[in-house]
Amino acid sequence: MVKYRISINPRSEWDDDVKEAKVSPRGLEVLAVIADGMSNKDTARLLDIKYQTVKTHLHNVVMKLGARNVTQAFMIALAKGLIRVTTDMPEPSEKWRGIATISGKERTENEK
């Protein structure tokens, strides 16, 4: 199985129209974590933010990118170079341990 991770591109590489949309790096971080296979609940725990804050960030990213839903926002962000898919798999930090990943290698305690 090929393992991959969704990561955020540096702001300097963003398209001009996306810079004008004022998409926040934190919103993209939330989008990238969700796109990497995390639930909203696990994303909140991983990023040490409230569940409602995750939903708010996702809503804002969807609106600012002119998307209809999170999936479309992900596709737009990927196409515009805001986020990227990489096969680099760094060692998981302590924060990531025990949280589900898209590779299916780790699952939360509730899923076991």
Listed by start position, the domains of the chain span: 5-111
What is the rounded radius of gyration, in angstroms, for the C-alpha atoms of the chain? 14
Q: What is the pLDDT of residue 16?
A: 66
DSSP three-state, residue 98: coil
84 forms beta bridges with: 7
Q: What is the pLDDT of residue 88?
A: 63
Whole-number Å distance between alpha carbons of 100 and 38: 6
Cβ burial 45-73 (10 Å sphere, 16+ → b, else e): bbbebeeebbeebbebbbebbebeebeeb
- Mean of pLDDT values over 84-90: 69
- pLDDT tens column, 69-84: 999 999 998 888 888 8
Q: What is the pLDDT of residue 104?
A: 41
What is the CATH topology of the domain spanning 5-111? Answer: Arc Repressor Mutant, subunit A (1.10.10)
> Does 59 have pLDDT greater than 70?
yes
- Mean of pLDDT values over 61-75: 93
Q: Are 111 and 102 in contact (CB under 8 A)?
A: no
Q: Model pTM? A: 0.69
